[in-house]
Amino acid sequence: MLKLSRLTDYAAVVMAQIARYPEQAHAATELADAVQLPHPTVSKTLKMLVRAGLLESRRGSLGGYRLARPATSITTSDIIGAIEGPVAMTECSHADGDCDLVDTCGVADNWQRVSLAIRTLLDSVTLAHLAQESPLKLPVQLPIQSVTLASRAEV
Amino acid sequence: MLKLSRLTDYAAVVMAQIARYPEQAHAATELADAVQLPHPTVSKTLKMLVRAGLLESRRGSLGGYRLARPATSITTSDIIGAIEGPVAMTECSHADGDCDLVDTCGVADNWQRVSLAIRTLLDSVTLAHLAQESPLKLPVQLPIQSVTLASRAEV
DNA sequence: TCGATAGGGGACTAAAATGGTCCTCAATAG
DNA sequence: CTATTGAGGACCATTTTAGTCCCCTATCGA
């Protein structure tokens, strides 16, 4: 299904929630409540986001989480990467490719390109986009159409 | 990581192998050998591809597998779908969305759009592309860049 | 200085998905 | 009739994922 893990999903929701009120610090409890998810799980997710450098945390009574940088410069790719590790469709599409089938496979190169295209796409959608109430309809969808035509025409 | 399952990877490799010699029928054993993967696993993969309607099979001594339609009209999306089920990034991005968090989530719409964009991308890359020895360098990659600009400019 | 409020780190478990193997049955060609 | 080749499904081992919990540390304010 090429699906995101559930935690990644949570991460996106939580990040979006924070992004909507960037000024204040958000406690894990508060977020869990706002988002209707069990506190320990949300907490775990938040920790991962901190470790990835997307959130900053502050302990103590007035503590909580806030964005480490503006929502416009946090990408979906960053969020996915924070929870699942770097985006890579196939074994061999990360740098230290150690797939011993490269010879017989004959598909590696092209997969890597597809992978790259997806990464680029995910890089182009920011947290600011996600957090927007109004859906980002055309901006993403329309230009993609031209890709379809372009690459189809090539063959 | 947003990774394909290993079986999907195998499927792509095997399909590409078949696509390179579309005239003949390919026995599972032959394919397993060509691709350097254990026979039972390859066999399983082939069965799945048949059930998804991407391959046609024929039993008996001169039997084997061949493409159900030309390589140009089989997409990577089809292949992924055959093994992992329909491409959908989030729980709620398939039709029968039954996520009870839609209200508090506030991100669903946009994820669905990202999902759609990826699906569109995967639809635009065909088996013929994959099977090509020479990588499809620019066709896919360049137009995507314009997506980046387009959607960034929008926010 | 103390205590209440928050997060940090990591261990641990249960459940599910994945990968891989195997066995028996059915179809086809010669 | 027999050798070949796929269909279908059971089965198991391993890994991944999700979720919980506990104990420690930092910060604020009384």
pLDDT at A148: 33
Q: Is A43 left (phi over 0), alpha (psi -120 to 50) or beta?
A: alpha
Q: In what helix (H) or strand (E) does residue B58 lie, and over which residues does it extend?
A: strand B55-58
DSSP B98: -
Q: Is B146 left (phi over 0), alpha (psi -120 to 50) or beta?
A: alpha
Which nucleotide is the nearest neighbour of A37, by CA and C1'?
A: D19
pLDDT higher than 70, residue B73:
yes
Give percent of chain B above pLDDT 90. 57
pLDDT at B154: 36
User: What would the mean pLDDT of B44-73 be, rounded to a whole number?
Assistant: 97
Instruction: Nearest chain B residue to A2 by CA: give it.
Output: B87
Q: In what helix (H) or strand (E) does residue A64 lie, and over which residues does it extend?
A: strand A64-67
Residue with tokens 């839609």: B102
User: What would the mean pLDDT of A48-56 be, rounded to a whole number?
Assistant: 98
The answer to whether residues A115 and A90 touch, using CB atoms and an 8 Å cutoff, is: yes
Of A12, A121, A144, the CB nearest to B107: A12
The answer to whether residues A45 and A7 touch, using CB atoms and an 8 Å cutoff, is: yes
Q: C6 C1' – B105 CA distance, angstroms? A: 24
User: What would the mean pLDDT of B91-106 be, rounded to a whole number?
Assistant: 65
Q: Write out pLDDT tens, residues A121-140.
A: 899 899 998 998 765 543 33
Q: Which of A147, A148, A149, A154 to mutate to test the interface with B (most CBs of B within 10 A)?
A: A147
Inter-chain residue contact A13 with B105, CB threshold 8 Å:
yes
Inter-chain residue contact A155 with B76, CB threshold 8 Å:
no
- Size of the A and B interface in Cβ pairs below 8 Å: 208
* Residue with CA nearest to D26's C1' atom: A59
* Chain A residues 51-70 within an 8 A CB cutoff of chain B: none
User: What would the mean pLDDT of B58-66 be, rounded to a whole number?
Assistant: 96
Q: D18 C1' – A6 CA distance, angstroms? A: 8
Which nucleotide is the nearest neighbour of B83, by CA and C1'?
A: C18
Helix, strand, or coil (residue B143): helix
Q: In what helix (H) or strand (E) does residue A67 lie, and over which residues does it extend?
A: strand A64-67
Q: How confident is the model at residue A149 (pLDDT cuts 50, 70, 90)?
A: very low
List, in order of start, the domains of chain A with CATH numbers: 6-85+125-154 (1.10.10.10)
* Chain B residues 85-124 within an 8 A CB cutoff of chain A: 85-91, 101, 104-107, 109-111, 113-114, 116-118, 120-124
Nucleotides of D under 7 A from a protein CB: 3-10, 17-21, 25-29
A55-62: which pairs have CB atoms within 8 A and are 24 or more residues apart?
A: A55/A15, A55/A18, A58/A25, A62/A25
- As a whole number of Å, the end-to-end CA separation of chain A is 27
Q: Give the number of other CB atoms < 10 A from CB of residue B62.
A: 9
pLDDT at A29: 96
Judging contacts by C-beta atoms under 8 Å, the chain A residues touching residue B36 are 101, 104
DSSP A61: T
What is the Cα–Cα distance from A113 to B141, expressed in whole angstroms? 7
Judging contacts by C-beta atoms under 8 Å, the chain B residues touching residue A152 are 124, 126
